[in-house]
Amino acid sequence: MKSGAGLINFIAWVALFLKGSLGIMGLIVLFKLSKALDIYISGVKDDSFF
């Protein structure tokens, strides 16, 4: 899951950006987005890779 680490770094960077500009609402949206991404990625992983 090398791409997973890159995704986590990207999410952390976006979280910092949103925290600066939008505050808590941005973090809530980001959390929901990351959960959706998590579900999507695990679905893709199950279907395509391992």
pLDDT digits (tens, 9 = 90+) for 18-45: 667 666 777 788 789 888 888 887 877 6
What residues does each domain of the chain span? 2-48
Cβ contacts of 35-38, under 8 Å, gap ≥ 24: 37/7
**Closest by alpha carbon to 32, among 11, 47, 13, 6?**
11
Q: What is the pLDDT of residue 18?
A: 66
Q: What is the pLDDT of residue 1?
A: 47
Instruction: Report which listed range, 1-5, 7-11, 20-24, is most confident.
Output: 7-11
Q: Which two tokens stand for residue 44?
A: 């893709």
Which is more confident, 23 or 13?
13
